[in-house]
Amino acid sequence: MKTLSGLFRTDDKIAPLILRVALAGVMFPHGAQKFLGWFGGYGFAGTMQFFTGTMHIPAALAFLAIVAEFFGSLALILGLFSRVAAFGIGTTITVAALTVALPNGFFMNWFGNQKGEGVEYHILMAALAVAVMIQGGGKWALDSLIYRGLADQQSAAAVPSRAQVSPAS
């Protein structure tokens, strides 16, 4: 139970809120492209086909990447399972950096003179994800409500009832 409550532990600070909302705000359009086909994306079926057919990513991992980007972004906006959502997004962006962007170097392709994007964006996104994993969701995160509920359960379990306390002789 203590490990579970540590997953939801967060404080009421603004900085983790900014980190989590920034990570969610930047990742949401990418997840919506892959899951819903918004913003010029191919949607779930098209993305699965591209990931498994063209990139040869196992279907289970392709599915997890899409879920992490779309539902992880939504969870981060709410501050719900913030550490888990940040881990999923951080893992996805790190894999993308190593497999797709790293061969293109460090810099983003601002002027269209590279084959693709470099890793600088990915490094920033991974850093945001790590910061959320360390700090939690921060102010206005639903995680804090879950944490308080788990803490109340733990303290209630730690207080012995009158039937458990024997009278002194």
pLDDT recorded at residue 45: 98
For 25-82, the pLDDT digits (tens) are 999 999 999 999 999 999 999 999 999 999 999 999 999 999 999 999 999 999 999 9
29 closest CA partner among 18, 20, 37, 21:
37
Q: Calculate the average pLDDT of the chain.
A: 92
Pick the more confident residue, 109 or 163. Answer: 109
pLDDT recorded at residue 157: 75
CA distance 30 to 54: 19
pLDDT recorded at residue 169: 52
pTM of the model: 0.88
Is the pLDDT at 5 greater than 90? The verdict is: no
Q: The tokens 């906006």 sit on which residue?
A: 77
Is the pLDDT at 150 greater than 90? The verdict is: no
Burial pattern 103-117, b for ≥16 Cβ within 10 A else e, equals eeeeebeeeeeeeeb
